[in-house]
Amino acid sequence: MKLVRAWLIPFTLVSGGIIIGIVVASNMGWLPTGTAGPEPIPSPIVRPVVTAPQLPMAGGDGKNFVEIAKSVKPAVVNIAASRSGKPGDSPHGSLEDPFFRKFFGDEFFKRDAPQREPKERGQGSGVIVEAGGLIITNNHVVNKADEIRVFLSDKREFKGKLIGTDAKTDIAIVKIEAAGLPTVPWADSDQLEVGEYVLAVGSPFGLTQTVTMGIVSAVGRASMGIAEYEDFIQTDAAINPGNSGGALVNVRGELVGINTAIFSQSGGSMGIGFAVPSNLSRAVMDQLVRTGKVVRGWLGVAIQDLTPELATQFGITDTKGVLVSDVMADSPAKKAGFERADVIVDYDGKPMDSPTHLRNAVAQTPIGKKVSVKLIRDKKPKTIDVTIVEQPKSLGQPGATESRESAVPTGVLSDLEVRELNEDLAARYGLKTTERGVVVVGVKSGSTAEEMGVREGDIILEVNRKAVNSLRSYEQAASGLPKDHAVLLLLKRKGQTIYLTLRP
């Protein structure tokens, strides 16, 4: 064992020396060409330093958020509107942003307010959409203003002229006398998708050229109580007081919406902001510039959502579409052949998935245009061509009725108490004595009818698609109904007709 160790040590030293000599000779070029030497020692691996993710790019044109902000900010203006008030009026009343006072406090509003002739003041934003000085903003920013001042990003100040307003969409158009101004190009808001990045640019609290970032949280938001015609883009980009009328742009720097409102319980942004889509804003703007008013199209149908329960009643497997609950007399729909219980699935080449979508599409249709409408009637597809006319100022439909005694239906309708409509019932429920049908005067507590939304004062027009224009016709339609079968009702409530399904 000792001999092995004694021999191993000098052998190792000699071998190591030979290897080192070969490596040195190879590196110094002493070995002849083609002589195989040991593999070179690899260089250390250099790993890249991990950095923060880069800003999303805009796609083909390669703009990032910094470039987008630089291109959009010069076209976003600050708008100050004021009008004379009456003695005793609160200054900064209807023109101010709804949450402006929460951020500045009462002292801000008192310090410059005249004691005898207070002035209402409003702060908001606007977007230059034409180089000649055409600006789009919100109606609530400039409504009834005596004076409008527009401040550009380069600190120039102009007197603004109000071209027109549309309270139903909360859009207004202001003009300043200038040329060669920067603009924001329009985008097709119909192509906007949930999850896209957007920037909100405006002047919150008078702080000009403020940019916030977020994504599109939802599209087609309606029933918010903000405007009559609602088709809002919802975003979590911070839209603060003073952002009203500002720009919502996509990652190509194009205008996809006009910032309008926020949902807030504290007065500040809570990640729920709303903007009027660019397509709707542009359509309103074009009419205001041309005529000073907005004319809307009219089809003449009462519509509602197609729920799964209603779809089952009509033998439809898909809930996409809009249910026609009534067709108005002397309307384009009536003349074209629309019927109650038609399900509209396509209007002018665009699929319809909600009453709001259809209502807005009809309203934006040019007057006199012939539109192709695809629908489902009695489980079969059908196409109807209809010519859209101007929306009338008042809508109504006359009717007639008889006078009979009360009746108590059987089966699934036994939870309802109905009576023939008379003057007393009409006065009690705020109805017209000329209404057709029978009126609901009682709904059993805890019943299916109550859970499904039947209310006192509702007028029953149909039972399982059978017309009801008197108490006798109601009894005939309601008699013999199996207790375990659902019943489809057509009701009229506050002038609107709706379908409801009652399940046992």
Q: What is the pLDDT along the chain (504 residues), one digit of tens a residue?
A: 443 444 444 444 445 544 444 444 444 444 444 433 344 444 444 444 434 344 454 444 446 889 999 999 999 999 998 876 544 444 344 444 444 343 334 444 444 444 445 555 667 899 999 999 999 999 988 988 889 999 998 889 999 999 999 988 999 999 999 999 999 999 999 899 999 999 999 876 566 678 989 999 998 877 666 777 778 899 988 887 777 899 999 999 999 999 987 654 444 555 688 999 999 999 999 999 998 888 899 999 988 888 888 888 888 888 889 999 889 888 999 999 999 999 999 999 999 988 888 988 899 899 999 999 999 999 999 999 999 999 886 543 332 233 333 334 555 677 788 887 777 677 778 888 777 778 888 887 777 788 888 888 888 888 888 888 777 778 777 766 666 778 888 888 888 888 888 877
Domain 67-175 - what CATH class?
Answer: mainly beta
Architecture of the 411-502 domain: Roll (2.30)
From its phi and psi, is residue 337 left (phi > 0), alpha (psi between -120 and 50) or beta? Answer: left
Out of 92, 97, 125, 140, the active site residue is 140
Spatial CA neighbour of 269 closest among 235, 306, 239: 239
Place of tokens 């007081």: 241
Q: End-to-end CA distance of the chain: give it in Å, rounded.
A: 99
Paired with 259 in beta bridges are 275
Is 485 a known active-site residue?
A: no
How far is residue 381's CA from residue 375's CA, in Å, rounded to a whole number? Answer: 6
How far is residue 275's CA from residue 219's CA, in Å, rounded to a whole number? Answer: 10
Distance of CA 100 to the CA centre of its chain: 23
Ordered alpha helix ranges (H), 412-489: 423-429, 448-452, 471-478
The amino acid at residue 236 is: D
Domain 189-291 sits in CATH at 2.40.10.10
Asked if the domains at 67-175 and 411-502 fall in one CATH topology, the answer is: no
Place of tokens 């490596």: 23
How far is residue 145's CA from residue 94's CA, in Å, rounded to a whole number? Answer: 10
Is 244 a known active-site residue?
A: yes
How many other CB atoms are found less than 10 A from the CB of residue 222? 17
Ordered alpha helix ranges (H), 418-463: 423-429, 448-452
> Maximum CA pair distance of the chain?
130
Is 140 a known active-site residue?
A: yes
Rounded to 5°, the CA angle 348-354-355 comes to 85
Q: What is the pLDDT of residue 479?
A: 67
Q: What is the pLDDT of residue 242?
A: 74
Residue 405, Cβ density class (10 Å: 0-12 exposed, 13-18 middle, ≥19 buried): exposed
How far is residue 84's CA from residue 102's CA, in Å, rounded to a whole number? Answer: 23
The tokens of 203 are what? 């002047």
> CB under 8 Å to 344, separation ≥6 — which residues?
303, 321, 322, 324, 352, 358, 373, 374, 375
Map out the domains of the chain as residue ranges.
Answer: 67-175, 189-291, 297-390, 411-502
Paired with 417 in beta bridges are 442
Q: What is the pLDDT of residue 95?
A: 42
User: Under a CB-based contact definition with an 8 Å cutoff, are residues 137 and 77 in contact?
Assistant: no
How far is residue 140's CA from residue 166's CA, in Å, rounded to a whole number? Answer: 10
Q: What is the pLDDT of residue 20?
A: 46
User: Under a CB-based contact definition with an 8 Å cutoff, are residues 119 and 113 in contact?
Assistant: yes
How far is residue 237's CA from residue 439's CA, in Å, rounded to a whole number? Answer: 48
Out of 189, 244, 281, 325, the active site residue is 244
Q: What is the pLDDT of residue 486?
A: 82
Out of 97, 125, 166, 170, the active site residue is 170
Q: What is the pLDDT of residue 263?
A: 59
Phi, psi (deg, nearest 5) at residue 348: 55, 40
Phi, psi (deg, nearest 5) at residue 401: -150, 165
Taken in order 368, 222, 256, 163, is the CA torsion positive or negative? positive
How many other CB atoms are found less than 10 A from the CB of residue 61? 11
Strands (E), 108-189: 119-130, 134-137, 147-151, 157-159, 161-166, 171-175
Architecture of the 297-390 domain: Roll (2.30)
Report DSSP state, residue 464. Answer: T
